[in-house]
Amino acid sequence: MPSFPWSQSIAAGATFNPLTGTNYQYLPRPGIVKYLHRATAVGLVATILSGSDELMQEGPVPAGGTAGVTPSEFNVPAIMDQVAAGDLQSVRYRNPTGGAITVDGFLDYTPL
């Protein structure tokens, strides 16, 4: 199962899309994607798109994580979708707060 982890500090007022320019931005074959993410503080919001499906309309990212620690399904809910070949994957984080927040997450891709 291919996966792509990320850990990024997002400055106040900044945005971050971890999949831009990676092999996972456009998936090569049909499959299942699973996203897990967690922030170090409250206030970070995310939008998750998978092909034409909006899996998460801009909303809060679960908080309480430790920077650099990949979250698991034991402490954050998984966001899953079935994908077609060539589907665009996009995770857009936005930090509307007054300080930097770190987000840790990963994409798990299971080809079918």
What residue ranges do the domains of the chain occupy? Answer: 3-111
E strands in 11-97: 15-16, 31-39, 45-50, 53-60, 79-83, 89-94
Overall average pLDDT of the 64-87 stretch: 93
* pLDDT above 80 (res 102): yes
Overall average pLDDT of the 68-72 stretch: 92
**pLDDT value of residue 1:** 73
Contact status, residue 106 vs residue 61, Cβ threshold 8 Å: no
What is the dotted CATH code of the domain comprising 3-111? 2.60.120.680
Q: State how far the alpha carbon of 104 is from the alpha carbons of 7, 9, 61, 71, 86, in Å.
A: 4, 9, 10, 7, 25
Q: What does the pLDDT look like over 4-37, one tens digit per residue?
A: 999 999 999 999 999 999 999 999 999 999 999 9
Band of the pLDDT at 67, cuts 50, 70, 90?
A: very high
3 state DSSP class of 102: strand
Pairing mode, if any, of strands 89-94 and 45-50?
antiparallel
Overall average pLDDT of the 52-73 stretch: 94
**pLDDT value of residue 65:** 84
Residue 88 pairs in a beta bridge with 26
